[in-house]
């Protein structure tokens, strides 16, 4: 289905997306980052994936290419580790708990979740604050100090209002 849109077979139907199409929507196959998002955000999501998250994209595709198993393929596993470290994402390396409990699949899910989180804010309108925070001014003097006649009239008005 993606071939009709100019994407290679098996890839996400969003034009230019580097991820595999794994979820069906509207008769097309989309990746987990594009599915259920309005098509108006496709370009922004794809740009985020290609420009800022390619280290994660390549890692997830590499894990899937090895069928979530690196048995006998230590070199591929080390390549992913190095890619994540070079990108400054040591937090996404496989943990000891993942090795013991879920293996590579648990790691893959965590990497994919990081990709989803990276594009989750696209298209979300940010609330504009209604107030502007001001900084404290040291040694501030009231304006009435500079206009004594105004200060006297203000004081008289206060005294007249509160007999």
The C-alpha atoms of residue 29 and residue 46 are separated, in whole angstroms, by: 15
- The answer to whether residues 124 and 116 touch, using CB atoms and an 8 Å cutoff, is no
The single-letter DSSP state of residue 129 is P
Give residue for tokens 């289905």: 1
Q: Give the pLDDT confidence of 71-92 residue by residue, as tens digits.
A: 888 898 899 999 999 999 999 9
**DSSP output for 50-108:** HHT-HHHHHHHHHHHHTTT--TT-HHHHHHHHHHHHHTT-GGGSPPHHHHHTTHHHHHH
Query: H or E element: which one contains 25?
Result: strand 23-25
- What percent of the chain shows pLDDT beyond 90? 45
Q: Give the pLDDT confidence of 14-52 residue by residue, as tens digits.
A: 999 999 998 886 678 899 999 888 989 999 999 999 999
Q: Give the pLDDT confidence of 99-122 residue by residue, as tens digits.
A: 777 688 999 999 999 999 999 999
* Crossing angle between the packed helical segments 103-119 and 42-51, to the nearest 10 degrees: 120
Does residue 27 come out as left (phi exceeding 0), alpha (psi in the -120 to 50 range) or beta?
left
The whole model's pTM is what? 0.70
């Amino acid at each position: 289905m993606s071939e009709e849109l100019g994407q290679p077979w098996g890839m996400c139907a969003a034009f230019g997306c580097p991820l595999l199409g794994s979820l069906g929507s509207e008769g097309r196959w989309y990746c987990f980052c594009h599915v259920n998002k309005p098509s108006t955000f496709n370009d922004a999501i794809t740009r985020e994936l290609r420009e800022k998250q390619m280290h994660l994209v390549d890692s997830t595709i590499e894990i899937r290419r090895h069928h979530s198993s690196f048995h006998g393929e230590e070199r591929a596993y080390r390549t992913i580790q190095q890619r994540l470290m070079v990108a400054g994402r040591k937090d996404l390396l496989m943990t000891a708990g993942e090795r013991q409990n879920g293996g590579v699949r648990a790691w893959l899910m965590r990497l994919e979740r990081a990709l989803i989180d990276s594009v989750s804010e696209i298209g979300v309108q940010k609330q504009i604050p209604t107030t502007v925070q001001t900084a404290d001014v040291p040694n501030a003097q009231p304006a009435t100090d500079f206009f004594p006649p105004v200060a006297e009239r203000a004081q008289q008005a206060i005294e007249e209002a509160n007999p």
